[in-house]
Structure 1
Amino acid sequence: MRKIKRISIQRSAVSVLALGVLMSGFVAVGQEVEDGAETNAQVDQPEDDIKKLNVVYVTARKRDEREIDVPVAISALPAIELEQRGLSNLTEISTAIPELRISENTIGYGGNLTMRGISSATSTASVDQAVTVNVDGVPVSYAGIIKLGQFDLGQVEVLKGPQALFFGKNATAGIVSLTSAAPTDYLDYRLRGEYEFEAEQYAGEAYVSGPLSEGVRGRLAVRYSDSEGWLTNQLPDPATVPGTVLTPDRKGPGAEEFLAKGSLYIEPSTDFLLKLIGGYSDTETNGNYLQSQRIFCPNGVAQGPFGYAGQDCKTNNVSTNGGMPAAWAAFDSRFPTDNQPYTRTKQHVLVADADYQLSPDLEFNSITGFYNVNLDASDHVSNGAIPFVGFATSIEKTTYSQEFRLSNNASDRFNWMLGVFLQDDQYVEDQSTIIGALLPKADFRITGDTISPFAQLGFDITDKLTLTGGVRYTDETKQQQIGSGQFDGLYPEELNFENWSPEATLSYALTPNANVYVAYKQAYKSGGFQTEHVAIPGALAAGTVIDNSFREEQAEGFEIGAKAYLLDQSLRVSAAAYQFEYTDLQLSSFDSVLVANIISNVGAATSEGVEFDFDYRPPAFEGFSLNGAVAYNNATFDEYAPACYNGQTAALGCDIATDTNDVSGERLPRAPEWSATLAGAYEGSLTTALDYRINAGVQYSGAYEGNSDVIPNSGQDSYISVDAGIAIADKDKVWELALIGRNLADEYWVASTYQVPVTGSDLALSDIAGTVNRGRQVMLRLTYHPQ
């Protein structure tokens, strides 16, 4: 890694100084606590007291610890908060955390996962993500995991910044860790029905949990939903605009989804626990590209052979995406004959987590994981009523993983953990593309093997000062085959990556309820092969030697943080300042000529900033809770020169000789400078028989770029989103009727943007299209849950 720049350190100095002032305040609080108090004094308190005192336990270091004792910037969302706010998928969950942005992309297997301004290539299925999703201990770095609907969760933990040690393969931006609700030791069941008015979405879910025999507990949960869609597909009359292909549905993306989750906990003794967890998702939508719409037309009207006068060019709930010509099915049977674009996705997650206490001071853990996704999709990317650029894709990705860990008692003055992570990955993509009269086909097979041992050591220098350090070594091999062997020798067939990622943390307990830390971290993400490139087969067929590989990504930097419980533990606060340098950051650039996302390695980038969050439950105001967060982030390119955008002249910064545009100093995509959230809830008695709950939340995002090419008019302005809800329940909480509203102001914003294919020229700007978020949601929910 190159040295951290002096100017970057200067930019962070003010942030670190401000955090130091906050730390000194923690010291003052610590003086009010009696000497000799136990750091983990709250561990053995009754559950009711823990809830009242707002103590949250996390497993960020593979051990149950209070969140404030973990020297990592982390946000934890307990199940009750997910329930009350109606957060049922990763896109919605991310709105509760300012530094995290998650959204679906146009193609069903793609998505955007961004943390502190760091993300990966979008709409490209073969690339690992900088933000890894960890499902019950199994890491999944495939962006399509965001379509795996989330329900029946026990807790969500979001670890911010590079993570190398505790979650399998490295994550250069962060971890979203999902923990399923555990089986109960008593019979428990719940039934729930929902109706969302804007998308006409019906949903029902249920779970049953309890003991099955001595030492065996089980849980089964299912969910089904059917939605008409929240977008209006506005298509002209084919007699008025020749070439228009109408679709059977004028709303979308309609979706039908079935989810199932089961778990079995087998505990024959206090020394052994086996957790068997399985998840299944089956989703079908009527065209994900409806979510991609033209958001800016420089001429005031849509350009290109498939645009038309009067086409909407605004960010809103109106899309224009024609159907699929039935004649295309003669080229490939996966193209629909009923004109309706579609995406069908099936995902499986299986986990076997075995924990064995070998002795009072020695613990062994094994996590075996299986992840599989099968996707079939057909759509067109014309962003208009007249289909021109279409595709039919089949993808299957299968990942087997195994992790072994051996550790001693965490309460020992000297503690350690040793382990190894193994992974086998297989990826197959078969795509047919239609671009006018051109009919390129692509067939990619990519395999990967990973072996990654790691070690972590901790030493309590004093009763308050602790030094921990560790390192992960990674050896990865990736192989690819294009076609059936006819192109051998014309492209790279194997890549090998080796990396050492160390980290060290010094933490100090100012009091039993206040901690500060400083950490140095490195992290790495392997390179690979890009498959979203329709020009590859044609070039190979012509005998051209190509290189479709991209390099590994590395991160290095520092984080300083502070956490504390204040006001008799009714207030939890945490703050962090960070600065991380990225080398060869993997981002994608949409080529409107090739109609493909091309992955590039950004020479260098920096992410630095300050964040603060709190959770307050005033004892004098029983039933009231308030939480919020604010984050400042400065994520910029240090060295990057993508291709000039359409219409960019020398006067606008294009180097005509090399056709490049130096964007050094510009902000990274999806990286607002300021973001914040504020949410509150109050529970009280309505009558002697009824209770009620009201809650509200506000989310703010500053302006940000929509793509890595920094194209004019392709960014997103700042916006505010408002949520609110009200619920009525009987005293025993056997039933509850809730009205939940999200994005009540009906704001629309883009997650990613690109130049519309076949619009613009060397001298004229292209139209801009973007993937738009879901608008207003108003949901009525009835729950039956006998205690």
Structure 2
Amino acid sequence: MKKFNRISISKSAASIIVLGFLATEFVAVAQEVEGGTEASTDAVEQTDPATDEQAKQLGVVYVTARKREEREIDVPVAISALPSVEIDQRGLTNLSEISTAIPELRIAENTIGYGGNLTMRGISSSTNTASVDQAVTVNIDGVPVSYAGVVKLGQFDLGQVEVLKGPQALFFGKNATGGIVSLTSAAPTEELDYRMRGEYEAEAAQYAGEAYISGPLSEGVRGRLAVRYSDSEGWLKNVVPDPSVKPGAIPPKNDKGPGIEEFLAKGSLVIEPSSAFTIKLNGGYSDTESTGNYMLSQRIYCPYGQAQGPFAYAGQDCKLNDITTQGDMPGSWASLDPRFPSDGVAYTKTKQQILVADVNYQVTDDISLNSITGFYNVNLDASDHVSNGAVPFVGFATSIEKTTYSQEFRLSNAASNRFTWMLGLFLQDDEYLEDQSTIIGVLRPKADFRITGDTLSPFVQLGFDLTEKLSLTGGVRYTEETKQQQIGTGQFEGLYPKEISFQNWSPEVTLSYALTPDANIYAAYKEAYKSGGFQTEHVAIPGALNAGTALDNSFKEENAEGFEVGAKAYLFDQTLRVSAAAYHFEYTDLQLSSFDSAIVANIIRNVGAATTEGVEMDFQYRPAALEGFSLNGAIAYNDATYDNYSPACYNGQTAALGCDIATDTSDLAGHHLPRAPEWSATLSGVYEGSLSAALDYRLNAGLQYSGEYEGNSDAIPNSEEDGYVSLDAGFAIMDKDKVWELAFIGRNLSDEYWVSSSYQVPVTGSDTTLSDIAATINRGRQLMVRLTYHPQ
């Protein structure tokens, strides 16, 4: 690790002192209120989640951040956990919506149908190439998925969402340099339980219905089946002029979009042949079809007063709002490749499946064996065009199939031991296939990609209670990975690299101190690693290879190292949970993507280094004196900046604006990373009360704040987000037994639109003139009515 400068050392030391002081004071106050001051002799003893039902009723959250079920405050990791009840009450049905409840986590769909932005504390990956692994991995029932298209895998019927912030390599392996979003499906119930629900969202004319049934199937066997269907017209207005106004324009058949039809299904079985043997089987299926993803992108800034380029038109909207301009495609393109739509309407069709077999065997009273077998598959077909205007420009038709098999074994002793250990082995086999067909005027670049990979990754973790309160844990994970690629069917042999390999050691060490049974402080040092790989680009690579040009489309691994300190406590008879953390992590060999508007391509290279450091705090309060009321809040300060990065100058950038004319690069050292606001915060509350002898009600509200942030990795002026405040609110009435419920749910009631990612519009600007700026945006206001029937 490079030497910390004096300011960093001062910040970190101050954070440790402040966190320790705050934790001590919190505990002291809590003990005074509760009438006692003596420390318990079992301060570090783990609570048994199977027998601590009373604590669970008081709101104690259990997580699996260290592959064991533990109270959240006992885990020395910065975690945000969303229980199923909060997800349900707020109507959060996908990863993008879930991320709005957690500061520093940003998840959004991207223009490319297979892409998405997953960003944690400013750390993210390129999303314009489907083959790139993500820095923020989504872990579904124990199986890691580092493919950006998982953003399209709708989420419902969840038991809990855990967001682990910062590097998490020891327990979760590669591709966790930014963090982990861990999704746990709702478990089968001991008794028969079923629910039916229907909903309508007015702004997008979205209908949806879902249902589940759960309960015992036979002695020692429980099952659960859940399904969801939704259909929407879309929430964006698509404004395209008639060809008489703009020659070449193709007005869309749908003036709203993107229209989305989605079917989701989940099933699970829990089989317990004996008290020592448990088998959990989970499966998920998603079938989504939308009218294209480039509609999600719009011009947000036109430097010369109106949209530029041959594909724009006079008067085209150049503001961040709910108006986009995306014409249909010529039906004649279908004669060049049948995947282009004959009716000209863009589409993205995605099918995803995930299967998980989680087996636990209690070898002895003290030793347990866990095996998790995973299968993930995605099939995608998409056709759209890149213009941000009325006239079709670059058209593409893409087919992708990605299949991943994974196997993890873990052997561990009981957490109640003074000396604890865990041994693990992770194996993965991966295949990625992509078939691209592109139209650029009279050019027809086409290429097929096949990328395979295999991973071997053992790890060991050891823990020792130095005293009754002080614990030291540490471990290391080794990763050995190989990837191979084939482009085309042999015609490009010798023009590109065929194989790359990576080896990595990721150690971690943590010191934890239990002030009381309900208060802990910790300090941790961590390292992590993100896979390198091969870039697939639908324009640049096939064009170069067809011209006989040798190229290297590979990029190497990305690494992270640093430390985190934190404090957590339950106070006032477990009615208040507070936690705080400070961190400093350094990232090297960043895999950054820069858009080259001349060749309409995003090029990924290991070209930079960055540092993220900050402080975050969150709380949950359920006052005993006010039954039915709860309040949650979080605030985060994050300083995520480049240590060095010199991308190509943006269009129109002069020497006065920071361009080194001789090298055509600009120095972005000190600039903020994309999608990394310095300040972000959330605040939400729920109150449940009685309307009458027969009816109850619920009020809930949520506030999300984000400061300004860069919209892309190259810090192009006028492509940033200025910051926003978004408000959610809801009201529900239900009968006393909660058999039925009628809810009115409002999301983003302030109708704010913010930048998810931004870029220079193709074929606008030049060496001396600025380009127009386009951006993908979030969904605007949502007004939903929902009826639920749930017999108890």
Measured against the shorter chain, the TM-score band is over 0.9
CA contact (8 A) 1:467 1:505 kept: yes
1:274-324 deviation digits (Å, cap 9, x = unpaired): 111100000000111111000000011000010000100011000000001
Q: Equivalents in 1 of 2:659, 2:17: separation in Å?
A: 40
Q: Does 1:618 pair with 2:603?
A: no
What is the Cα deviation at residue 444 of structure 1?
A: 0.9
Q: Which residue of 2 aligns with 1:474?
A: 479
Q: Aligned residue for 2:687?
A: 682
Whether 1:444 aligns to 2:449 is yes
Query: Partner of 1:650: helix, strand, or coil?
Result: coil
651, 658, 661: which is aligned to 1:646? 651
* Pairwise CA distance, 1:43: 4.2
Amino acid aligned to 2:402: K
Mapping of residues 72-471 of structure 1, within 5 Å: 72-471=77-476
Aligned equivalent of 1:550:
555
**Aligned partner of residue 50 in structure 1, secondary structure:** helix
Deviation at 1:490, TM superposition (A): 1.1
Partner of 1:539, secondary structure, is helix
- TM superposition shift of 1:591: 1.6
- 1:34 is displaced (CA, Å) by 3.5
Aligned letter for 1:275? K
Query: 1:103 and 1:343 mapped to 2: Cα distance?
Result: 16
Kindly indicate whether the alpha-carbon contact (under 8 Å) linking 2:27 and 2:569 is maintained by their aligned counterparts in 1: no
1:173-230: CA deviations, max 9, x gaps?
A: 1000000000011111000001000000000000000111111111000000000000
What is the match of residue 631 of structure 1? 636
Answer yes or no: is the 8 Å Cα contact 2:24–2:515 preserved in 1.
no
1:35 Cα deviation from its structure 2 partner: 3.4
Q: Distance in 1 between matches of 2:411 and 2:272?
A: 19
Q: Equivalent residue of 1:166, what SS?
A: helix
CA contact (8 A) 1:154 1:182 kept: yes
Q: Are residues 1:697 and 2:702 paired?
A: yes
C-alpha change, 1:117 and 1:507, in structure 2 (3 Å) is: same
| Distance (whole Å) between structure 1 residues aligned to residue 530 and residue 46 of structure 2 | 39
Matched with 1:770 is: 775
Residues 122-175 of structure 1: CA distance to partner in whole angstroms, max 9, x if unpaired? 222111100000000000000100110000000000000000122243410100
Q: TM-score, normalised by structure 2?
A: 0.98
Paired residues of 2:40 and 2:516 also in contact (CA < 8 A)? no
The whole-number CA distance in structure 1 between the counterparts of 2:101 and 2:111 is 23
Match of 1:24 in 2: 24
Count, aligned residues: 787
8 Å CA contact 2:221, 2:269 repeated in 1: yes
Say yes or no: does 1:738 pair with 2:743: yes
Q: Report the CA distance between 1:14 and its aligned residue.
A: 4.4
Task: Give the whole-Å Cα distance in 2 for the aligned partners of 1:474 and 1:184.
Answer: 38
Deviation at 1:569, TM superposition (A): 1.2
Per the TM alignment, residue 247 of structure 1 is displaced from its structure 2 partner at its CA by 1.9
> Which range is displaced more, 743-752 or 580-589?
580-589
Question: Aligned with 1:93: secondary structure?
Answer: helix
* Distance in 2, Cα, partners of 1:347 & 1:102: 18
Q: 1:28 is aligned with what amino acid?
A: A
Q: Is the 8 A contact 1:38 1:512 kept in 2?
A: yes
Residue 9 of structure 1 aligns with which residue?
9
Q: Which secondary structure state, in structure 2, belongs to the residue aligned with residue 378 of structure 1?
A: strand
Partner in structure 2 of residue 780 of structure 1: 785
- Judged with a 3 Å threshold, the aligned counterparts in structure 2 of structure 1 residues 143 and 41 are, in CA distance, closer, same or farther, namely closer
Q: Tell whether the 8 Å contact from 1:126 to 1:427 is kept in structure 2 after alignment.
A: yes
2:39 is matched by which residue type in structure 1? Answer: D
Write the letter of the residue equivalent to 2:670.
G
Distance apart, 1:598 and its partner CA:
1.4
Amino acid at match of 1:704: Y
- What root-mean-square deviation, in Å, do the aligned CA atoms of Structure 1 and Structure 2 show? 1.4
Distance 1:2 1:381 in 2: 42
Distance 1:721 1:190 in 2: 31
- Partners in 1 of 2:8 and 2:591 — Cα distance? 21
Residue 606 (structure 2) aligns with: 601
State the Cα deviation string for residues 248-282 of structure 1 (Å, max 9, x = none): 21100000000000001110100000111100000
Shift of 1:42: 5.9
Residue identity in the other structure for 2:62:
Y
What does residue 36 of structure 1 align with? 40
Contact 1:119/1:131 (CA < 8 Å) preserved in 2?
yes
> Would the aligned equivalents of 1:122 and 1:587 in 2 still touch at CA under 8 Å?
no
- CA distance in structure 1 between the partners assigned to 2:3 and 2:608 by the alignment: 14
1:422-478: CA deviation from partner (whole Å, max 9, x where unpaired): 000100111111122221112111001000000000001111100000000000000
**Which deviations, in whole Å up to 9, do the C-alpha atoms of 1:314-360 show, x marking residues without a partner?**
11000000001111112211111101000000000000110000110
DSSP-derived class of the 1:761 partner: coil
Counterpart amino acid of residue 761 in structure 2 = V
Contact map agreement 2:42 2:468 (CA 8 A) in 1 = no
The answer to whether residue 759 in structure 2 is matched with residue 757 in structure 1 is no
Q: CA deviation at 1:535?
A: 1.8
Which of 562, 567, 570 is 2:567 aligned to? 562
Partners of 2:442 and 2:764 lie apart in 1 by 18
CA contact (8 A) 2:49 2:69 kept: no
8 A contact 1:571–1:616 mirrored in 2? yes
Stretches of structure 2 that go unaligned for 5 or more consecutive residues are none
Q: Distance in 1 between matches of 2:96 and 2:37?
A: 41
Is the 1:290–1:321 Cα contact (8 Å) retained in structure 2? Answer: yes
CA distance in 2, matches of 1:499, 1:43: 36
TM-score (norm 1): 0.98
8 Å Cα contact 1:680-1:696 kept in structure 2: yes
Instruction: Find the partner of 1:535 among 535, 540, 545.
Output: 540
Report the AA paired with residue 34 of structure 1.
Answer: E
Aligned to 1:505: 510
Deviation at 1:693, TM superposition (A): 0.2
| Equivalent residue for 1:711, pick from 700, 709, 716 | 716
Conserved 8 A contact 2:27-2:571: no
Q: Distance in 2 between matches of 1:93 and 1:754?
A: 25
Q: Distance in 2 between matches of 1:692 and 1:496?
A: 58
Residue 487 of structure 1, CA deviation: 1.0
Structure 2 Cα separation of the partners of residues 602 and 89 of structure 1: 33
SS state of the match for residue 359, structure 1? coil
Distance 2:320 2:243 in 1: 25
Does 2:54 align with 1:54? no
Deviation, 1:19, is 2.4
Asked if 1:67 corresponds to 2:77, the answer is no
Give the match's secondary structure for 1:327: helix
The answer for unaligned runs of 5 or more in structure 1 is none
- What is the distance in 1 between the residues matched to 2:17 and 2:201? 47
Shift of 1:47: 7.0
Residues 242 and 250 in structure 2, CA contact (< 8 A), matched pair in contact too: no
8 Å Cα contact 1:139/1:169 also seen in 2: no
* Partners of 1:116 and 1:507 in 2: CA distance: 24
2:196 is paired with a residue of what secondary structure? strand
Q: Cα deviation per residue 1:568-606 (whole Å; 9 max; x = unaligned)?
A: 211000000000000012221122112122112242100
Contact 2:265/2:284, CA 8 A, preserved across alignment: yes
Does structure 1 conserve the Cα–Cα contact (< 8 Å) formed by 2:532 and 2:554? yes
2:355 corresponds to which letter in structure 1? Answer: L
**Shift in alpha-carbon separation, 1:614–1:568, aligned structure 2, 3 A:** same
Q: What secondary structure sits across from 1:580 in the alignment? A: strand
What SS does structure 1 have at the residue aligned with 2:309? Answer: coil
3-state SS of 1:345 partner: strand
